[in-house]
Amino acid sequence: MNVQRRLDEVGMACSSCHQASNTPGPHRPPGAPRWGLAPREQVFEGKTPRQLCEALKSPDSNGHRTLEAIQHHLLDDPLVQWAWAPGEGREPVPVPRAEFASAVRIWIESGGLCPEDGQ
Amino acid sequence: MKLTLHVNDQDREVDVDPDTPLLWVLREDLRLTGTRFGCGAALCGACTVHLDGRAVRSCVLPVGDLGGQKVHTIESLGGAHPVQVAWCEANVPQCGYCQSGQVMAAAALLASRPKPTREDIDLALSGNICRCGTYPRIRLAIERAAESIASRAVPDKEAP
């Protein structure tokens, strides 16, 4: 399957294959409520830590989320939580969920500051 | 569990485990065998049906998740759908196994985009695999079906 963003314009949607939960069996389509790709602006590759931080915080590229809403998204959204329960045949993300949650809280509670490039 | 499914414009009652993929209910319980099993993992597109008009892979869709959504299978196209007519005229199928999925994907494309570009066609059908390699004829048939639909369309306003 050649997954691309434009598929929803030509009669298919993410939910054509992705259900509200992981399809049972190894390497079957992963699933979570409101499955979808992150917007292009949130692609991590090639960004410096500062650029990534600014993209996360920018209302124009983060779904108009406040810092509080970013925290809710990262810690509570089932689509994000899927990363730690990706289904049979896939490895969870390398950072343990508790460690990730702690880092998010510290960052948000300290004002969501962005690092200088080179830090 | 007893479920009422809306399939091909009829209410159909089935008694199945709600985790059963829609494909098996269509084929085994409702005997609608035009929809094919290919990979069972939403990778090949042979099992494509329409759910509220969108192309979906029925092999990974739990029947208990359907709610009131309307299912249409290849049988609902009736044989004279512009895509099916174009398919026959272009002699698209070789072995034919994947073709009901290809036709359903094509019909969903033309319903959402009646005048698709070649790029639209390639994208929309990119998840439907044909091991006979009939892709050039599939593309040709979709272009012809689009022309057929456009020629039959009623103009918005009558000419003075």
| Tokens matching residue B156 | 């918005």
Where chain B has pLDDT below 50, the residues are 159
Residues of A in contact with B19 (CB under 8 A): 24
Q: Do A19 and B60 touch (CB under 8 A)?
A: yes
How large is the average pLDDT for residues A43-53?
92
Which residues of B fall below an 8 Å CB-CB distance to A? 19, 41-43, 53-57, 60-62, 65, 105, 108-113, 116, 120, 123-124, 126-127
Q: Please determine, for residue A118, whether its predicted confidence score (pLDDT) is greater than 90.
A: no
- Name the residue with tokens 């810690």: A75
Residues of B in contact with A11 (CB under 8 A): 53-55, 105, 108-113, 124
Q: Please determine, for residue A2, whether its predicted confidence score (pLDDT) is greater than 80.
A: no
Q: Please determine, for residue A37, whether its predicted confidence score (pLDDT) is greater than 90.
A: no
What are the beta bridge partners of residue B7? B10, B71
| Tokens matching residue B24 | 């098996």
With a threshold of 0.85, tell me whether the complex ipTM lies above it.
no
Q: Tell me what pLDDT residue A58 has.
A: 93
Under a CB-based contact definition with an 8 Å cutoff, are residues B116 and B124 in contact? Answer: yes
Residues of B in contact with A15 (CB under 8 A): 54, 56
| Tokens matching residue A7 | 């598929």
pLDDT digits (tens, 9 = 90+) for A73-114: 999 999 999 999 999 999 999 999 999 999 999 999 999 999
How large is the average pLDDT for residues A32-50?
88
Give the best residue of A4, A12, A18, A35 to mutate against chain B (max B CB count within 10 A). A12
Kindly report the backbone phi and psi dihedral angles of residue B65, in degrees, each rounded to the nearest multiple of 5, phi listed first: -90, 0
Treating both helix axes as pointing N-terminal to C-terminal, what angle do B82-89 and B135-152 enclose, rounded to 10 degrees?
A: 130
Treating both helix axes as pointing N-terminal to C-terminal, what angle do A67-76 and A97-109 enclose, rounded to 10 degrees?
A: 170
For residues A25 and A89, give the distance between their C-alpha atoms in angstroms, rounded to a whole number.
8
Under a CB-based contact definition with an 8 Å cutoff, are residues B80 and A41 in contact? Answer: no
User: Between A2, A16, A23, which is nearest B56 by CB?
Assistant: A16
Q: Determine how many CB atoms are found less than 10 A away from the CB of residue A20.
A: 13
Q: Tell me what pLDDT residue A67 has.
A: 96
- Listed as own residue / partner, the contacts of B86-93 with beta carbons closer than 8 Å and 24 or more positions apart are B86/B141, B86/B142, B86/B144, B86/B145, B86/B148, B87/B141, B87/B145, B89/B141, B89/B144, B90/B137, B90/B140, B90/B141, B90/B144, B91/B137, B92/B134, B92/B137, B92/B138, B92/B140, B92/B141, B93/B132, B93/B134
Q: Which of B145, B150, B3 is nearest to B77 (CA)?
A: B145
Q: Tell me what pLDDT residue B156 has.
A: 56
Provide Rg for chain A, Cα atoms.
Answer: 16
Q: Tell me what pLDDT residue B92 has.
A: 98
Q: In what order do the strands lie in the sheet with B48-51?
A: B10-15, B2-7, B70-72, B48-51, B54-57
User: SS in 3 state form for chain A?
Assistant: CCCCHHHHHHCCCHHHCCCCCCCCCCCCCCCCCCCCCCCHHHCCCCCCHHHHHHHHHCCCCCCCCCHHHHHHHHHHCHHHHHHHCCCCCCCCCCCCHHHHHHHHHHHHHCCCCCCCCCC
For residues A74 and B73, give the distance between their C-alpha atoms in angstroms, rounded to a whole number.
39
pLDDT digits (tens, 9 = 90+) for A5-34: 778 888 788 999 999 999 988 888 999 999
Q: Tell me what pLDDT residue B16 has.
A: 97
Q: Tell me what pLDDT residue B41 has.
A: 92
pLDDT digits (tens, 9 = 90+) for B77-117: 999 999 999 999 999 999 999 999 999 999 999 999 999 99
User: Between A10, A20, A23, which is nearest B112 by CB?
Assistant: A10
